[in-house]
Structure 1
């Protein structure tokens, strides 16, 4: 075995630092990738990656294709195809859990082979939760299979996932030939069929019921001890003030907005005993049978008004004593009471996804209540629920927020990429999906679908490369009015683009310094005692586990060169090893952090971290055998 060069040691040190940042998330993954790119260029004498080569990832066919596919997917989504499929699903299943599960798994898996699976899952989550509520089925029983099905569908075609496109680029560099549109399809179809069969049988029995089907929001987030109603006495200093005036004047500095972390500015005449904030939010005011969202109404507070508040028992007691309020029985506060009047806004559930503008920011920095009239009542992180002290909570991907808000404000947050709506009252999704008029696919709506089909056909027939076909499709989308130019730019997940472009030169550095060959030589030792098929299975498992801990993109960049080098060291073809890595990174089921759609269902399903391994572990082992054999048959060792 060749000795390890100084350059390889430098590259391995950069990899170790990058992996540490990926796991700890001290820097966001895209910024970590750019830091790797800069480091490789600065350390060129050791890494062998000049500055011009370091930035070539931004012009990589894979990156260009991914940008174009985001835009094409947005055009298809805007045409209403996904909404139309969802409406048909609701009509056909009619409340039967087995039929509903089969429809969800079948629809999402096939769709994800041709359209970006993130918008598919984003549309299906609220549909699934509303159907689950209507038919008294636990949403937990349906959402994890939804995510896994979308991942399985990604193995069908070249454009099924970003990692497929990235692996195609790596194949071109290492093996001299990129993937075609349907290179993965023979094995992908088998993987999909086996995975769907598992989800509808064994997997169905393993999926836990974390959220009771009959639970409303207050029960689901266990809010009974953190919601209370207080009656305003005639002697209360709040009488005659609106909530806004009280906040401005210092009377309600107890209402420090824990969702923006900024206390109301008290004037010089503020009472000295009111300087210490109390962690209590006023949610609504009830008077003579009408309810009003507290921060949106300009009605002065009157004696005998009932204030609905969020806070711990101790905080509410302190608040009531300070402002001369009388407490009502806590069990009177329900979801129905909180949303019984349009004046009071609605209760909704929304997820912080992996591309949210809220990632890494605290609620105190964001100012949801002061900027958007959105009051956070609770945060669910897996099976843990946070109900107080929101100001210092740093939001992470997968967090689910229970909010009280006017409809237009929560829609604005969804449209601007802050949150993904997952559950709410029917009127909320009537606005989004216009359920009064079931979605139809008219001639105009079929234009973007036709453009996507044309792109796939041109690439599959080899008329033009996939990236040229996809860019042509983008032009056609905008030229036909199927998508505006501004919406096209907004559709691209630029953090993913920077992640891909930043990590691509890392693979080149491993090749240039001999690092991939060195690691391949170490693993080739296993090839002397393992038969080729077992070595192939070993790479599948290694890839699947690593991809479940760090990003699949980083995993394919790191392991694809090593897999090919290992195969060449033991005298085997590199192609099957590259393909098995490609399939393994696309099906990283073991944790919620391994794949974007897993994070999206984490909060709405109320899952525990271990639920993914519980359901995905057996599926991962099953697909290890199926994929390994399938790859060896289609691409002989």
Structure 2
């Protein structure tokens, strides 16, 4: 191997290792990889930042803005309302909800489509008394399948289209993905209608539908007031009063010292109790034991009350929220937003620090207290999705049909090849901003900046892997195994490798690395590169085995009460369907 190839492989392997380690943000890892490639000389300095001006960056950013506008318009809830009365069984609920999220994901960012349907799933769960976990993972998987059907449905398709232009001189068009994507979507929805039974039965909502997070207990802090009947009693007495539904996991005394108490510890006035339990049990013990939730001062309670009736809402932190990586203390939740952090849940994890200093992560479940009238706008500003408070919407309904109309016109213009995808979606985003469907602030918040940074940084690194001959070298190694297989077998191998790599890399990074390898393998075997590029796109978009490979899977993990190992139960058979049916559909649609 040449020095350039050694350097390219070292940088890519180092990047993969850091992404798997998951201690450094993926956008920072990508920037580090770009810097290393510049220092090693495999990325020329005059092309080091060419990725940030690439059409991919503009398309992804514009599509995110358009998706946000469609989500805030309320048109989806309007379209769904005639079907609500028909969703009486789990099969019918999944058939309707998953079909709609799948179709919607083909035309807007899949995580945006999922965020629209999650509150609807909880409304249905509450009304029918069935666990929401039966719906959430199928919804997530449906949103991933829907994204495969069009050019703008998911980032891997956009990236593969651009790389095809580099390789064969022409990009994929808007609906080139539809024959394969639509076939996989239909098969996936049919499977999910019956396959939901593979999920663990005791996840998420309880039998009555009220206990929404029976697996994921919340952690909260409450002060033992002087008038509490538990002053002078023991920890055991408190847990007995709560009928063993609450656990005292810590006591904070002397302002900052935290102790892990045993059952015979005596409780004193002004003790801060760190309690763990579900939302209903916490609310009951606070009332019965005359505890005071830590954080909201009396004057702030009065100020919030003046703004309207106070209430509590359960919400999940979504991708792109300004809360991610920051604590309630850093955000000044009470002062800036008029809400109090009551409790936090993170997949059963216990927190060693004070709640106000816990740094939030995507997928965290929160209980927030504040004025009910202001809560919808507050949650929208924070980037949280309301769950337990069913009548809340993420912001006001604005220009209900304008966003969907602008999106439809943009897609028609692209399909008829009047304008490029870049111009169409950039123009759509500008029109929606000019029409005040979105404010500039909302548009900036809708854009997934870390993904744009990752794309801009890794495009030159991916090109370096190709220009140094690294992709040809890997393609040569793969061709050694592929020559023993028929062409369809080689195609299935690429799809399988892309699907296997995606849980460890961001799907955009997977495509940037795997697309040149797939095209190189096709050329070595004397085959058309198109089906291999399509296989990379499908494999990178369909991660059903883990909660970390795609943001949609991460988003439903906490609210659904899922554990890491729950995903493969439903995801493994679905992955096998995608590999087998996807390989067949690609080979039929794109002659090899």
TM-score by length of 2: 0.84
Instruction: Say which SS state the counterpart of residue 559 (structure 2) adopts.
Output: coil
Report the Cα distance in structure 1 between the residues aligned to 2:229 and 2:461, rounded to whole angstroms. 70
Deviation at 1:107, TM superposition (A): 0.6
Give yes or no for contact 2:406–2:428 (8 Å, CA) kept in 1: yes
Q: CA deviation at 1:141?
A: 0.4
Please say if 1:157 is aligned against 2:155.
no
Moved more, 116-125 or 450-459: 116-125
Q: Match for residue 17 of structure 1?
A: 14
Matched position secondary structure for 2:366: strand
Structure 1 window deviating more from structure 2 (142-151 vs 372-381): it is: 372-381
Pairs within 5 Å for 1:220-259 = 220=214, 232-233=226-227
Instruction: Map residues 194-593 of structure 1 onto 2, 5 A cutoff.
Output: 194-201=187-194, 203-209=195-201, 210-211=203-204, 212-214=206-208, 216-217=210-211, 220=214, 232-233=226-227, 274=254, 276-278=256-258, 319-320=267-268, 333=281, 335=283, 345-361=310-326, 368=333, 373-381=339-347, 384-386=348-350, 389-391=353-355, 393-407=358-372, 411=376, 414-421=379-386, 423-426=387-390, 429-430=391-392, 432=394, 444-593=399-548
Q: How does 1:83-122 map to 2 (within 5 A)?
A: 83-93=77-87, 95-122=88-115
1:173 to 166, 175, 178: 166
**Separation in 1 of the partners of 2:344 and 2:62?**
38
Residue 76 (structure 2) pairs with residue 82 (structure 1): yes
CA deviation string 1:307-354 (max 9, x = no partner): xxxxx76599555256699xxxx9995546769999694343322333
- Pick closer, same or farther for the CA change 1:206–1:275 going to 2, 3 Å: closer
Larger Rg: 1
> Is the contact made by 2:140 and 2:553 (CA closer than 8 Å) also made in structure 1?
yes
Change (3 A) 1:497 1:404: same
Contact 1:353 1:599 in 2 (8 A): no
Residue of structure 2 equivalent to 1:136: 129
TM-score (norm 1): 0.78
Task: Provide the residue aligned with 1:53 in structure 2.
Answer: 47
Q: Does structure 1 conserve the Cα–Cα contact (< 8 Å) formed by 2:226 and 2:270? A: no
Compare 384-393 and 137-146 and name the one that shifted more.
384-393
Q: Secondary structure at the match of 1:351?
A: strand
State the 1:566 CA deviation. 1.2
More off after superposition, 190-199 vs 339-348: 339-348
- 2:103 and 2:366 map into 1 onto residues whose CA distance is 30
| In 1: Cα distance, 2:172 partner to 2:443 partner | 26
The answer as to whether partners of 2:220 and 2:344 remain within 8 angstroms in 1 is no
**What's the offset of the Cα at 1:362?**
5.5
Mapped to 1, the partners of 2:287 and 2:147 lie a distance apart of: 40
The answer to whether the 8 A contact 1:169-1:178 is kept is yes
CA contact (8 A) 2:498 2:539 kept: yes
1:550 counterpart SS class: coil
1:40 aligns with 2:33: no
1:8 maps to which residue? 5
The equivalent residue for 2:549 is 594
- Could you tell me how far apart the structure 2 residues matched to 1:225 and 1:511 are? 50
Compute the RMSD of aligned alpha carbons. Answer: 3.6
Contact 2:385 2:394 in 1 (8 A): no
Cα separation, partners in 2 of 1:225 and 1:319, compared to 1, 3 Å: farther
Identify the match of residue 65 of structure 1 among 31, 36, 59.
Answer: 59
Structure 1 542/393 Cα, relative in aligned 2: closer, same or farther at 3 Å?
A: farther
1:222-256 Cα shifts (integer Å, max 9, x gaps): 7699888956349999xxxxxxxxxxxxxxxxxxx
Structure 1 residue 469: Cα displacement: 1.4
**Given that residues 354 and 397 in structure 1 are in contact (C-alpha distance below 8 angstroms), is that contact kept between their aligned partners in structure 2?**
yes
Q: Matches of 1:138 and 1:75 in 2, distance apart?
A: 30
- Output the CA distance in 1 between the equivalents of 2:564 and 2:196: 18
Q: 1:77 to 1:227 in 2, by over 3 A?
A: closer
Aligned counterparts of 1:324 and 1:361: Cα–Cα separation in 2: 23
Using the alignment, how far apart are the partners of 1:324 and 1:158 within structure 2? 54
Kindly state the Cα deviation for residue 475 of structure 1 after the two structures are TM-superposed: 2.6
Alignment partners' CA distance in 1, 2:47 and 2:269: 68
Q: Is the 8 A contact 1:346 1:425 kept in 2?
A: no
Give the drift of 1:41: 2.4
Q: Does the 8 A contact of 1:377 with 1:404 survive in 2?
A: no
